[in-house]
Structure 1
Amino acid sequence: MTDTDKTIADLTARVEKLLAEHPPAATDRLEFLRARFDAGLAWVHFPEGLGGLGLPRELQAHVDRLLARAGAPDNDPRRNGIGLGMAAPTILAYGTEEQKRRFLRPLWTGEEIWCQLFSEPGAGSDLAALATRAERDGDHWIVNGQKVWTSGAHKARWAILVARTDPGAPKHRGMTYFLCDMTDPGVEVRPLRQITGEAEFNEVFLTDVKIPDSLRLGEEGEGWRVATATLMNERVAIGGGDPRREGGMIGVVAGTWRERPELRTPELHARLMRLWVEAEVARMTGRRLRQKLAAGQPGPEGSAAKLTFARLAQQLSGLELEMLGAEGLRYGDWTMKRPEIVEFTGKDAGYRYLRAKGNSIEGGTSEILRNIVAERVLGLPPEPRTDKDVPWKDLPR
């Protein structure tokens, strides 16, 4: 028996023990999820005591299959995508032991939902230009500013927040990263309605919000470095997934093609085949990216994956609308809603077409991602940056 076979056998035994001690049919859902985390079966690649066993990331799929087969509940990851895909790996990489033990368990079980307070009205693509201020006051920081495009802020208990702590330093060096309690006094969340009629995201106003220094993540002034790790994880979470073949938008469009032969034309067939091949290439590339992540930190490859995801989603949703013709222009319900999750493929074609427009903006605009790929993957010369060493307070705004 190889070492891998022994590891898989040990994981199987751990799952069987969990199921025996906490039968899914007779155990409260939250109690089961907590027990799964404590057994190291939440994130097997995380350290022991923090939901994992220090094993390769790819072994998580084996655990998930066994638990799904037994009818065990999952942690409904779509409800807390920012927490699971962005906050958790950043806390693991930069948090203190106390922070890791306080936040990772309720984050994984879904007891505490997270959002991301990064972008601002004047600092979206250029995040380092942010103006939200955090000023030291003894053992606390007083935060004032405005954030925007904050997905899920209306349901979040915690937020990852980047604020400027040294306006006299160049813009990339004067920021600090915090964990912000969204229920604290001074935090105001207002909905932003989008083209779909929904309000997935919000603007958030911070007025004299008091954050303990114990909720600082990383060193003072290290905010850009910590935020970069978060953003790389975000792009992997959005674009670097490993769905089944014909998962996501390509599955929706291919299904319509098979079920509605009257819609077919040679030109649409050629476009669908090209996009099907590109979607399959993206899927396999995402799998390779996940394997690479098992051995280290995310890099610029996640930007390329997210860039490809956005392009394919927009092209496929546009093709679907063309296939359906006038039928595709119907729109089910444009009333104001605050969705718990973004159900991209479960709605009608008109919704998918409109929602896909946001894919090239959220998680880093496609223009910025092309710059990252050009500079960090292809090695092309960077664009001139005349403000790189100028103190933030001296920059025109």
Structure 2
Amino acid sequence: MMRNRMIAGAALAAASALVLAGCSSGGTDSDSTDGGDELTHVTLQLQWLTQAQFGGYYLAKANGYWEDLGLDVEIIPGAVDIVPQDVLAAGDVDFAVAWVPKALASIEAGAGITDIAQIFERSATLQVSWADSGISGPADLSGKQVGSWGFGNEWELFAGLTEADASGYTIVQQNFDMNALLNHEIDAAQAMTYNEYAQLLEAVNPDTGELYQPEDFSVIDWNEVGTAMLQDAIWANTERLESDPEYADTAVKLIQGAILGWIDQRDDPQAAADAVTAAGSTLGTSHQLWMANEINKLIWPSTSGIGHINDDQWAATVEMALATKNQDGAQVITTDPPDSAFTNEYVDQALENLKADGVDVTGESYEPIEVTLNEGGN
């Protein structure tokens, strides 16, 4: 892991400083270090609890990458009642991590925020059913009891149902676990590859006394269906980007340090599992490693460099957000988002700084590891 820090250290800080003026983000505090240098205090709001879904950020902090760039980043965990993009729009944090469809809805409602780095290139959302259910695609959900969390997590599901012209299904409010499926209370459950799907494989099959296996389940992957939408991205305050050069400079540095953290997670997923555990996550050891490995698959290999927002993927997400309706007839958005909804200006500068130091930002040779899950994720 430390190879990146040795490569990047002072060179990254110097490269970033050449791009945009300033050394601290507007409206933030500075802390003095032992050497007399000042660190810019920055707040980063996550969209969920501390776990390996955010391992790159915790590694960036633990390995000192942000500190090398002059930042003191405070990572703020999320919760069910926290909407990160709205917390950002209210000015309560400097940056936030949020899914694109949810953020687009907030932008249409008046939030002045901008996607400055699209960390996840692929979707992690699945719809999972029992292998003997006869459900292999969204059309097979017709007439079924279909679990969904809601809270803006359901749009890929509804896009798939709409495209397949499914009918007669009942949407059931699902808890953030897989108990309803395991107890045969619903026919299909929403799951993330890195979390709830693992919960199924950590559960004991009462008929065999062994853990369930992938062949016990049927999985609908929205990437394969073609209704995947962009998920975890780093968002910034639009007005501050346009009016505050120091904040814009901080945005580049935040992305640079985060990318180094995500590269460390790519190359050593166990380090990410350890970092989030040290930061307070209570998830089990094997579950955290599974999560880190699955998150890596969403990022690597990267088409254009980690964080770069690919126009085709952005356009596809917007198109589905405009066309998809939920069971109440509501759409994600009703009009095209403004041009300020995303920009590659800051992430591309961060990528150029890193590539100048020989850092691999695409991971073309990336291969996932094999992870053995234990009962309960322990």
TM-score band, normalised by shorter chain: under 0.3
Q: Which one has a larger percent helix, Structure 1 or Structure 2?
A: 1
After TM superposition, the score normalised by the length of structure 2 is 0.27
